[in-house]
């Protein structure tokens, strides 16, 4: 059974703080890792699809890195804003994994003004 772990479960930061959280996944047969941002009552919004070891992707103040050999990805938010408050989900898929994205339970970020 594939297991994707995200930590921490929840995080409270002050506006302007930079923060990061972790997604851990099985390192064998890696195929792709997806990051999503999910605000309550909205649809999960795709942030990044990461495929190569050492990948680093950036979208505004949000960036992500990938280490497939050790099985983790970090998501960084620089200068957090209240509008960054959301649950951040990662999802993993294995090579030959019949196209099933396996999601972690997410990290809930709250940015206090």
Partner 1 sequence: DSGVTQTPKHLITATGQRVTLRCSPRSGDLSVYWYQQSLDQGLQFLIHYYNGEERAKGNILERFSAQQFPDLHSELNLSSLELGDSALYFCASSVEGADSRNTIYFGEGSWLTVV
Query: Contact positions toward partner 1, by CB under 8 A?
Result: 4, 31-32, 34, 36, 41-46, 49, 51, 89, 91, 93, 98-106
- The residue (of 19 and 37) whose beta carbon lies closer to partner 1 is 37
Nearest distance, CB of residue 39 and partner 1, angstroms: 10
Residue ranges of E strands in the chain = 5-7, 10-14, 19-24, 30-38, 45-50, 56-59, 62-67, 72-77, 86-94, 102-103, 107-112
CB closer to partner 1, 36 vs 71: 36
Q: How far is the CB of 82 from partner 1 (least distance, A)?
A: 22
Would you say 21 or 36 has its CB closer to partner 1? 36
Looking at the Cβ atoms of 4 and 11, the one nearer to partner 1 is 4
CA gap 37, 95 in Å, rounded: 24
Nearest CA to 21 out of 70, 113, 90 is that of 90
């Amino acid at each position: 059974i594939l297991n994707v772990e995200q930590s921490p479960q929840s995080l409270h930061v002050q506006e302007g703080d930079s923060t990061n959280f972790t997604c851990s996944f099985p390192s064998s047969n890696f195929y792709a890792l997806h990051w999503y941002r999910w605000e309550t009552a909205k649809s999960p919004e795709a942030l990044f699809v990461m495929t190569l070891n050492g990948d680093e992707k950036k979208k505004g103040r949000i960036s992500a890195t990938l280490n497939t050999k050790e099985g983790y990805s970090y998501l960084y938010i620089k200068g957090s804003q209240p509008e960054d408050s959301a649950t951040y989900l990662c999802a993993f898929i294995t090579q030959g994994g019949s196209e099933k994205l396996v999601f972690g339970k997410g990290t809930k970020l709250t940015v206090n003004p």
